[in-house]
Amino acid sequence: MTAERTPTPAERIFVALDLTDLERARALARELNGTVGGIKVGLELFSARGVEAVRELGAEGLPLFLDLKLHDIPNTVASAVRGLLPLEPALLTLHAAGGPAMLRAAAEAAQMAGQHRPRLLAVTVLTSLDERDLRRVGQEGPVAAQVLRLADLAQGAGIDGVVCSPQEVADLRAKCGPGFILAVPGIRPAWAQADDQKRVTTPKEALAAGADYLVIGRPITQAPSPRAAAARIAAELAGP
């Protein structure tokens, strides 16, 4: 993927295809081609339909954000990254909590793909965890501090960016600088319903706070016309 050139507004949108129905996912990918920057698929599709399904979706031609949140010992994660390279993901996730050696091993493995290497994004603190949960797994301190600590660790280990909530974007941009990729879910245009997302921000606000990529699922996939919804979001991003 091209980090060198500024993405167009449409290229900033990665559509979360949280489906296990491959045919539906393929139909959406086909419909959205040209109006978004790529598609995000994760453990649901990977677990239910396997690597072949991901390959077939990738064949639709849209950049692939593979959200598998890898987390294991360095050797295993490096092998997993190498194993995923034939899928040519543009973005691939792993847990920053795996530690510096794991992160470095993954970054080195990704380099094997040369100029088409996937950009690696770290997951810091899952938004499903609050401070009480963190304490229970032995992590003290506010969630925000832990997010910054893990992002710093990931950046120092050669990871390209992080997935972060809209509330974390501005602090992360300030701490990690302009070249660090920030991919942000929890996005809702003013005209879309929040669904189960608790703290949402509009696409334009997320961009203004410093996001590079917006991960948007249901406001596009559940819209009467997914293509029209994606085009509307891209137009809002481009507008004043």
Interface residues toward ligand C5P, by CB under 6 A: 16, 18, 127, 163, 165, 185-186, 195, 197, 215-218
Q: Closer to ligand C5P at the Cβ: 146 or 165?
A: 165
Residues 6+ apart with CB under 8 A from 114: none
CA dihedral (142, 190, 239, 9) in degrees, to 10, reads 60
Q: Closer to ligand C5P at the Cβ: 17 or 176?
A: 17
Active site residue 175: no
CB of 196 to ligand C5P, least distance (A): 7
Q: Closer to ligand C5P at the Cβ: 127 or 155?
A: 127
Contact 213, 14 (CB under 8 A): yes
Phi, psi (degrees; rounded to nearest 5) at 114: 65, -140
Binning the chain into helix, strand and coil, the percentages to the nearest 5 are: 50, 15, 35
Check 40, 69, 198, 204 and give the catalytic one: 69
Task: Return the H-helix or E-strand segment holding 30.
Answer: helix 22-32
Neighbours of 155 (CB within 10 A): 21
Between vectors from CA 82 to CA 79 and to CA 83, what angle results, nearest 5°?
85
CB of 216 to ligand C5P, least distance (A): 5
CB of 21 to ligand C5P, least distance (A): 15
CB of 222 to ligand C5P, least distance (A): 8
Q: Closer to ligand C5P at the Cβ: 133 or 195?
A: 195
**How many whole angstroms separate alpha carbon 152 and alpha carbon 207?**
21
Q: Closer to ligand C5P at the Cβ: 9 or 185?
A: 185
DSSP E strands, the chain: 13-16, 38-42, 64-70, 91-95, 119-123, 161-163, 181-184, 213-216
Residues marked as catalytic: 69
